[in-house]
């Protein structure tokens, strides 16, 4: 037997330490929380995608009385970007969450299904996507979905024998 040790590099910084372009993307994600439809969880998430033409596309979580029919903010933003600009890859996505009257202190990290969708985006456009997870006290940033979803299932998995 052998053991594979995987390492994950996460940059941790505060909002004030962020570059101007990252600040702009985070502000767009924070602002998008206002458009969330979250009457069931009251947990309002915003996501902002930066396309490689500089455009910012936002999304927010959209819940449903039939709970599984709702969708996370990240997938709303990514699918919207893909539908409007199918030929544009993504440079980065920022995520923020507003809960009980304020933005969360801890970084808002994407759920497993959103990670899988982000992996597809990297594969589709053959380009790494920076993921910025906003929290009031600190921000987490990874260079690629590989850091959050190692050993992922992708198109090469389908053709492997
Ligand atoms: N949610 C997101 O939109 N993104 C995440 O990364 C985590 C969870 C939403 C789904 C649901 O509407 C609410 O937050 C509570 O889980």
Going by C-alpha positions, the residue among 19, 21, 29, 40 that lies closest to residue 135 is 29
| pLDDT value of position 88 | 96
For residue 115 and ligand 1, the question of a CB distance below 6 A is answered with no
Q: What's the CATH code of the domain at 70? A: 3.40.140.10
Residue 3 lies in a domain: no
- Is residue 21 domain-resident? yes
Asked, for residue 91, whether it belongs to a domain, the answer is: yes
36 lines ligand 1 (CB under 6 A): no
CA distance 117 to 46: 16
pLDDT reported for residue 130 = 98
Tell me, yes or no, whether 1 lies in a domain.
Answer: no
Compute φ and ψ for 53, nearest 5 degrees: -105, 10
Sign of CA dihedral 11, 17, 19, 23: positive
pLDDT of residue 144: 98
Tell me which residue range forms the domain holding 84.
Answer: 11-146
Q: Does a structural domain hold residue 81?
A: yes
Model's pTM, two decimal places? 0.97
- Residue identifier of the C-alpha nearest atom 6 of ligand 1: 110
User: Is 74 one of the catalytic residues?
Assistant: yes
The active-site residue, picked from 20, 27, 42, 74, is: 74
What's the residue count for the chain? 161
Q: Which helix (H) or strand (E) holds 13?
A: strand 11-13
Write the CA distances from 155 to 66, 71, 125, 147, 159, integer angstroms: 31, 23, 13, 18, 7
Q: Does some domain include residue 4? A: no
Please give the chain's pLDDT, 161 residues, in tens: 999 999 999 999 999 999 999 999 999 999 999 999 999 999 999 999 999 999 999 999 999 999 999 999 999 999 999 999 999 999 999 999 999 999 999 999 999 999 999 999 999 999 999 999 999 999 999 999 999 999 999 999 999 77
* Residue 72 CA, closest ligand 1 atom number: 3
Say if 156 falls within a structural domain. Answer: no
Query: Cα of 154 to ligand 1 centre, how many Å?
Result: 23
Say how many domains are in the chain: 1
Distance 36 CA to ligand 1 centre (A): 10
Query: Is residue 160, in this structure, part of any structural domain at all?
Result: no
Burial of residue 89 (number of CB atoms within 10 Å: 0-12, 13-18, 19+): middle
pLDDT at 81: 98
Lookup: tokens for 149: 């979803």
**Sequential DSSP letters for 111-159:** PHHHHHHHHHHHHHHT---EEEE--SS-EEEESSGGGTSTT---HHHHH
């Amino acid at each position: 037997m052998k053991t594979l040790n995987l390492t994950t590099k996460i940059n941790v910084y505060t909002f004030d330490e962020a570059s101007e372009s990252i600040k702009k993307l985070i502000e767009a994600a924070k602002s998008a929380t206002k458009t969330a439809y979250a009457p069931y969880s009251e947990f309002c998430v915003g996501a902002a995608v930066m396309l490689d033409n500089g455009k910012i596309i936002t999304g927010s979580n959209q819940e449903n009385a039939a709970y599984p029919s709702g969708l996370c903010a990240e997938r709303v933003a990514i699918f919207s970007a893909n539908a409007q600009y199918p030929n544009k890859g993504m440079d980065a996505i920022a995520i923020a969450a507003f809960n009980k009257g304020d933005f969360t202190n801890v970084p808002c990290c994407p759920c497993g299904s959103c990670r899988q969708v982000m992996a597809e985006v990297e594969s589709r456009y053959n380009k790494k996507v920076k993921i910025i997870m906003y929290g009031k006290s600190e921000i987490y940033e990874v260079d690629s979905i590989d850091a959050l979803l190692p050993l992922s299932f992708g198109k090469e998995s389908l053709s492997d024998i």
